[in-house]
Amino acid sequence: MPLTPLDIHNKEFSRGFRGYDEDEVNDFLDQIIKDYETVIREKKDLEQEVKSAKEKLSHFSDIETTLNKSILVAQQTAEEVKNNANKESKLIVMEAKKNADRIINEALEKSRKVTINIEELKKEANVYRTRFQMLIEAQLELLKSDEWKDLAKKPENDAEPSEEDTVKTQA
């Protein structure tokens, strides 16, 4: 067990024939007691500081643990958000592809219908052209016929219109 300042103060030395000077020994012991008390006080202060530092260390360790857990949770959450964003982007791309396919298919269908309509219109135009050509040819044949020549001739018994007929016609 370590000595206390009181143990040092109460220590009695035996006296010998030629012993030390008692006042010097007592002065030295007084100095040792003061120094020893200072050391003990500093030791208690240091122990208190160590205790306080350990408490702070414990507190900061708890904070560190909490922060580490928070970081892990944040990382997991970020990973989940990233994964969800990737899934959502894939869904959006898939939906866009479906819409694009649908639009393309609708456009192709409209194009086919337009092509069919164009072909039908071409056929109808050819039929109309053929019929019109036949009509014109028939009219030409009619114009070339002898009947028109006969109509163009003046009948012999028709007299020239008189001036009265001409005036009546003009009025």
Residue-wise pLDDT tens digits, 42-81 = 999 999 999 999 999 999 999 999 999 999 999 999 999 9
Structural domain boundaries, residue 64:
5-142
Q: Can you tell me the distance from the alpha carbon of 14 to that of 30, in angstroms, rounded to the nearest whole number?
A: 18
- Which residues, other chains included, contact 3 with Cβ-Cβ below 8 Å and sequence gap of 6+? 36
In a domain, 32, yes or no: yes
- Phi-psi category of residue 140: left, alpha or beta, with phi > 0 → left and psi -120 to 50 → alpha: alpha
Q: pTM here?
A: 0.43
Q: What is the pLDDT of residues 11-47, one digit of tens each?
A: 777 776 677 777 878 888 888 888 888 998 999 999 9
Q: Can you tell me the distance from the alpha carbon of 7 to that of 5, in angstroms, rounded to the nearest whole number?
A: 5
Task: Tell me the three state secondary structure of residue 74.
Answer: helix
In a domain, 171, yes or no: no
In a domain, 154, yes or no: no
- Phi-psi category of residue 19: left, alpha or beta, with phi > 0 → left and psi -120 to 50 → alpha: beta
In a domain, 160, yes or no: no
In a domain, 166, yes or no: no
Domain count, the chain: 1
In a domain, 80, yes or no: yes
**Residue carrying structure tokens 């899934």:** 87
In a domain, 137, yes or no: yes
Nearest in space to 32 (alpha carbons), one of 59, 3, 74: 3
In a domain, 67, yes or no: yes
